[in-house]
Each structure stands twice: as structure tokens, then as C-alpha cells.
Structure 1
Amino acid sequence: TEPQRCNKTLVTGGGGYFGYKLGCALASSGASVVLYDINKPIWEIPNGVVCIQADVRDYNAIFAACEGADCVFHVASYGMSGREQLHREEIETVNINGTRYIIDACKQRNITRLIYTSTVNVVFGGLPIEDGDEETVPYFPIEKHVDHYSRTKSIAEQMVLAANGTPLAGGGVLYTSVLRPPGIYGPEEQRHLPRLAVCNIQRGILSFKFGDPSAQMNWVHVENLVQAQILAAEALTPEKNYIASGQVYFIHDGEKFNLFEWLAPLVRTLYALSLNILTYFAIHNSGFPLFSSAVQNISITHTFRIDKARRQLGYSPEKFTFADSVEHYIKSRAEARSEHGFPRVLLFFLAIFSLIFLSLRFDDVVLAAHLPVLVL
């Protein structure tokens, strides 16, 4: 029997890259989609998608947006990277209070399904993990997290799991599930890695290997994470025997990567193309510290198994490469710039320099640097 599809769904964090991609995929399947975010998406809004610009900490707005929904994908979060990491109060209120409001709204609106986007950092805090799975890898102690984002995401995840099986106001039960992705990459992702790339490649941090030179990690392409989210929603239905009820799943591309080896060809290309300009930016952006959370995420092995997601959800990640995302991004931006008559040299530099690394997302790399923004 085909599982129940979403008729109307709410995606918090729908103004961001992943939330937007998820909303579009749901709309393509025939669902009515509400993208809920404090910021509007920068991309075109497809038919069947409504945007509500509001804060996840505004319960009344959340309650109103949830009207008629049968499924909520809670993607919104704050404090993942950059200067956001310094705003402790906002991290606490968005990630913890916002999640509490989502849970409460689900109960009051009789929404039966809630899928929460967590992070591998709820279990990883600097100690090596190799091929960890959901049953054997415990939560990293809350009080030992070096950054507030990971700590609050762990608290929020446990709140969502604790809400599984609780009664709804109009009868029925709330079913919840949690997905734990690592870093997300894709052709149009453009938030986090610029801080890592611009600040640290220029300063030579990635020109040598520190920590364990063979350290490995996982990545997930945005399309694979979208697939997992939709499968998790289907697995919270009677047709699937609620198999995902109260469950957590590691989600990634099914491969391990060494960051230094993965980025080396791109670093060489970047240096070869724009060494002088890079030197200029390096001089004007030096002196910003790399937080310890960034170091441990880059230099310590933390890999996970996705057997449970394959078995229970039917998750089958497609094959993607970082190079494909870069090629797509450069091509799309080059076409856009050519329409505005940019000088060819500037166009080439902007496309290569900005977007080689924008296509990749560090879900758990945090930099304190405040860098110039390249608006393409």
C-alpha cells in the first residue's frame, strides 16, 4: 500500500537553502506547502507554495501557519556559524523555545507528523567516531559541548523525541522522527563555507594538515537529504506501520571523505586563478580565530552508518560529487552576470572565487570572522 502523502505541510526555515529545496520537492509531489521563515527565499517561489515571513519564536504566528497542516518539517535553527555563534540568547530561544512552540502547535492543531532536522553534532563533540550508529553512539554530554548551537540542537532533538506518542487536542497521537545530517552541499548553497574558505585557505590553514591527517567525515547532498525527509514523513503513517515513530536516523551520501583531499584540487585552482587577489583579501581579513569546534570537525574522524535509514525508510542516496555542484553553480552565475554586462575578468574571478566553496555547506564548522560579502 502506498503511504499517505502530505496534503498540506509546513516547513520552518523555509527561507533557507535546504528548507526551500524541501518545500519545492513537496510541492512537486502535489502537496500544499507553507514556507515559514523570518527571511523570504531568494529563489523563485513555485506554484503551490506560500511564504509566511515570521519568527519561529512567535507562537501565534506559528499556530496560524499550522492551520490545516497534516505534517511539519522543523528545519529552522540559529547559531550554526559565523557571528551568529556569539548570540547565545538567540541561539537558546530559537533552537529550544522555537522547537517547543512547534511541538505545542502540532498538538493544538492536531498535526500527526513532525520531522525534526538535527545534526550529527548532538553525538559528536571532539572524540573520534568511526561508523557510529543510532543505537550505540550516545549523546555527547550537554555540558561539554564547546558551542551553544550543538548543545541547543541536542536539547531540541530530545524534546522532539520525548513528544512522540503524546495526545493531540482533538484526539489522535503525535508521531515524531529525527534526521541527523552532517554538512550539506549542493549547487546553490551559499551561506557557511565562504567564511571557512576565504578566511582560512588564504591564511594557509588548509595548506597543511593538522590533527589526524587521515580524518574522515560524511557529507550529504541536498537532494539526498530531501529524499530522506519525505521518506521519514511517509514512515510516520499507518501504511508504513509508523516505523519511524520516535526514531533517529543518520543521513548522508553513504561515503566517507577526507576534507583536505576533497578540497585540494579546488584550492590549487583557486590559488592559480587569483593568487594576487587572494593575498589582498588575506591581508585585510587576518587575525580572526578559528573556533575549536571548527578544528575538531575538520581534524577528527566522525563517520556514521546509514543502514537504519536504508532499512527502515528505504533511503537510497544518489551519487553526487562536489565538482558537479561547482560546475553547475559557476555556469548559472556566469549566465546571470553576462546579462548584466560585467567585465569578463571580474566575472570569471567572482564566479570561481565565491562559488567554488559556496556550493558546500559546513553544518558544523563555525568561524568568528566577519568577512566582506560578495553579492552575486
Structure 2
Amino acid sequence: MATSCSSPESWASRLGEETALARGVSSGKVLVTGGGGYFGFRLGRDLASQGVSVILLDMNRPPCDIPDGATFYQGDIRDYFSLYKICEGVDCIFHTASYGMSGPEQLRKEQVESVNVGGTNNVINVCRERNIPRLVYTSTINVVFVGKPIEDGDEGSVQCVPPDVHIDNYSRTKTIAEQMVLSADGCSLKGGGLLRSCVLRPCGIYGPEERRHLHRVMMNVERGLFSFRFGDPRARMNWVHVDNLVLAHKLAAEALTLKRNGVASGQAYFINDGVSLNLFEWLRPLFERLGHSQPTINLPVSLVSSAAILLEYLHLALRPVIEVPLLFTRSEVRSIAVSHTFKIDKARRELGYCPKSYSLADTVEHYLKSRQPRSSSAFLSLSWSPQQPLVLLLLMGISMLILMISCILCQN
């Protein structure tokens, strides 16, 4: 149930505003935070193609041309006044911006906190001040997962984990931000009416032009670093194609209107393709296309996790001189090693979400055709210093030693 966090406005005022919105009398103008990122840009492009006036906000320009019907603003959601300025006339915010999802980003605690928590706080306050009645927040399955198996979890059976239980900054701050968005549902807007908010919890995203997950796995496969597996060999997880995730966001925004009786107001939804898969089996097309065999060496999770922790510390300690590559962070090790699957029945029932079937093989083929040749700096990003060669050899030696010892132990 939605709860108001301030004095309720008159029912007539609320009804008039929501009726206008439901009939399409609103401005039809939306803001997509993180609009320069992979998913945010795809969402904005899809909305613009349907005649919606779209504002894309991001610190980085999208890699593609801005589509007709969309406007790009280079800005930071942590800058409240800039955010407030560009939200004039907006009637829905899709808050997809975040930081620290994977790799070295996870270790930058202050930046993760300021973007995911501070930025979300700004978005909520701008909704109130600018009378923006709808807010759809892109959360994550990480808010309910802490390394214990979850089989076909749903929104009723699995609850958000307390923030201080999470071992990584991304999951912790996304949990806080999700709770902030849900708590804001039903709050009064400055000009009358109520804010209606909901959250979507996607898993890993894949699709054409995706660069975060697929690119990183592909680079590690080509370097020969993805030569082992660990954890439960039957572990399963979910993935979501970017087009299915775009669909879910559009349906969620519609489900916050009076036309749909505000069915999504104050609700959270798991979003995926509707199937569960073993990671290594799912990646089979990638290994085959690159001419590599699937990993055959099985390592103890504790060993891989210890190596990940060691490399995290090395990354932080040596960052001013050299960027230590992270094959996995410890939170990523946990995600791979343990089954965690979620049902999408609630999204099907309340949002009308019906995901299409997609093949990873198609995504891999598209990626291989479109990727740029690798540069010599693809493996490590370095800041020059006279001690660089020694440091580089030391780190490479440590990494290789860990892998060699692991392989020997498992073969004996």
C-alpha cells in the first residue's frame, strides 16, 4: 500500500491530475537518467521512436547519434540544480543511472555512494519540486542476493537484504536507493497530486552492442584467463535481453497511471527473459565462436574468492601507479558460484510483461562483427613511472602463480 509522507492533497485535485495523465493530456516528456549508457540509451531511443519527447542525461555522450525526438544533456545527477533545470515539463523519470556494477568500479566506495544514493535522493526531490508524477527506478537482483542459493524466488518470498549485510558497495547502495524510491511512493507533489513510483529488478543485461558483460568475458577468454570454473556445476541464473528490459520499463511507467489503476505504485518486480541458465552453458556460443574449449578445471570457490580478495587489495593499493586487472571481484565470484533464479509471474500478471526469446549466439555474432581491433593497452591501463616494468612483472607473476597452484591442486 502506498503511504503519504506529507499532508494529503484534496482527492479532487489528485483525480484531475491523474485523469489528465491517463488520457494522454500530459506533456509526453520523459527524462532518462543514465541516458548515455547502454540500457538508458536504448530505452530513450525506443521511446523517441514512439513519439515521446525524451531527455537523455548522462556524464558521457552516447556512442551513437542522438535519435530524432531526443535531446542529450551532459550532466551529473549529483548536481541538483542542473537536474532541476532540465526537468521542466517532464511527467515521468526513468532513473537508470548507477555506478559500480562490476569490475574495478565496485571498489570506488565514495563515488558509488554519491551516485547511487545521493543521485537518487536528488531525483526524488526533483520529482516533488517539479510535480513529476511517475518515477520508474532500475534496481537490481543484488538487493536480495548475498550468496545463498535462491531457487525461483519471487517478490513475496525473498526480501531486501539489510544494506550492512552486503559485501560490495554497489549492492549496498542500490538497496538503500531502492528503499528510498519505494518510500517516496505516495508522497505529495509541490503543485498537488501524488508521486507514484516503482522499481524493476533486472539481472545481467545482454544484447546487440552491449559492452560491459560480454566484452569483459570475451577479453578474458581470449587472454586464456577464463580456463577454469568453480562453484556448483549446476548453478543457474537469469539474464535479460535489453529489448525485454526496455519493454518492462515502458509497461511499468504505464502501470503507474490511472488508466491502469496505478497497479505498479509502490511495487517491485523481478525482470528477466523467463528462463534460467547455467552460466558456462549459456556462454557456449561465445567459447565456440572464439575457438576456445569450455573450462574443464574445477577450482574450490574459497580459492577463487581468496584470489579475488587479494587482487582487489592490490588494485586499491597500486591504483596510483598501475591498474590491476580484475578477472572477478569477490561479489562476482559469489554470483557465479551459487544458483539464484527469480520468477517473473508478478510482472506478467500486473504489468502485462511478456518477454520475447533471444539467442546469445546472435548477440555474440553481432559483437564480433562490430568490435574494434584491440589496442596494446587493452590488458592494463598504466600511468608511466620508472618502476612500471617491475611492478607489471610482479603482478603478472602473482596472478599466474595463483592460477598455476589452483590447477595443480585440482589435478592431484
Short-chain TM bin: 0.7 to 0.9
Instruction: Identify the residue that residue 128 of structure 1 maps to in structure 2.
Output: 149
Instruction: Identify the residue that residue 263 of structure 1 maps to in structure 2.
Output: 283
Q: Give SS of 1:323's match.
A: helix
Instruction: Identify the residue that residue 58 of structure 1 maps to in structure 2.
Output: 79
Instruction: Identify the residue that residue 21 of structure 1 maps to in structure 2.
Output: 42
Instruction: Identify the residue that residue 229 of structure 2 maps to in structure 1.
Output: 209
Are residue 36 (structure 1) and residue 57 (structure 2) matched? Answer: yes
Are residue 94 (structure 1) and residue 115 (structure 2) matched? Answer: yes
Q: Is the 8 A contact 1:82 1:192 kept in 2?
A: no
287 and 60 in structure 1: CA distance in 2 versus 1, 3 angstrom threshold: closer
Q: Give SS of 2:283's match.
A: helix
Are residue 306 (structure 1) and residue 344 (structure 2) matched? Answer: yes
Aligned length: 330
Q: Give SS of 2:39's match.
A: helix
Q: Tell me the TM-score normalized by structure 2.
A: 0.75
Shift of 1:204: 4.4
Following superposition of structure 1 onto structure 2, how do residues 236-255 of structure 1 map, counting pairs within 5 Å?
Answer: 236-255=256-275
Structure 2 Cα separation of the partners of residues 74 and 4 of structure 1: 24
1:310-341 C-alpha deviation (Å, 9 max, x unpaired): 000000001111111122333445xxx7xxxx
Q: Give SS of 1:209's match.
A: strand
Shift of 1:98: 0.3
201 and 108 in structure 1: CA distance in 2 versus 1, 3 angstrom threshold: same
Q: Give SS of 2:160's match.
A: coil
1:44-68 C-alpha deviation (Å, 9 max, x unpaired): 1111100010011000011011110
Structure 2 Cα separation of the partners of residues 180 and 198 of structure 1: 27
Question: Please, which runs of 5 or more residues in structure 2 have no aligned partner?
Answer: 1-18, 294-322, 382-412
Moved over 4 A (4+): 1-6, 285-289
Instruction: Identify the residue that residue 88 of structure 2 maps to in structure 1.
Output: 67
286 and 111 in structure 1: CA distance in 2 versus 1, 3 angstrom threshold: closer
Report the residue type matching 2:96 in the other structure: V
Q: Is the 8 A contact 1:4 1:234 kept in 2?
A: no
Shift of 1:146: 1.2
1:16-50 C-alpha deviation (Å, 9 max, x unpaired): 01000000111111110000011111111111100
Structure 1 Cα separation of the partners of residues 324 and 231 of structure 2: 22
Structure 1 Cα separation of the partners of residues 104 and 182 of structure 2: 30
2:248 to 214, 228, 237: 228
Are residue 371 (structure 1) and residue 371 (structure 2) matched? Answer: no
Between 1:298-307 and 1:139-148, the stretch displaced more is 139-148
Question: Please, which runs of 5 or more residues in structure 1 have no aligned partner?
Answer: 274-284, 338-346, 354-369
Structure 2 Cα separation of the partners of residues 43 and 56 of structure 1: 21
Structure 2 Cα separation of the partners of residues 4 and 185 of structure 1: 34
Following superposition of structure 1 onto structure 2, how do residues 34-183 of structure 1 map, counting pairs within 5 Å?
Answer: 34-183=55-204
Instruction: Identify the residue that residue 315 of structure 1 maps to in structure 2.
Output: 353
Structure with higher Rg: it is 2
1:88-135 C-alpha deviation (Å, 9 max, x unpaired): 101101000100000000000000000000000000110100000001
Structure 2 Cα separation of the partners of residues 189 and 308 of structure 1: 27
Structure 2 Cα separation of the partners of residues 184 and 38 of structure 1: 21
Report the residue type matching 1:217 in the other structure: M
Report the residue type matching 2:244 in the other structure: N
Following superposition of structure 1 onto structure 2, how do residues 183-198 of structure 1 map, counting pairs within 5 Å?
Answer: 183-198=204-219
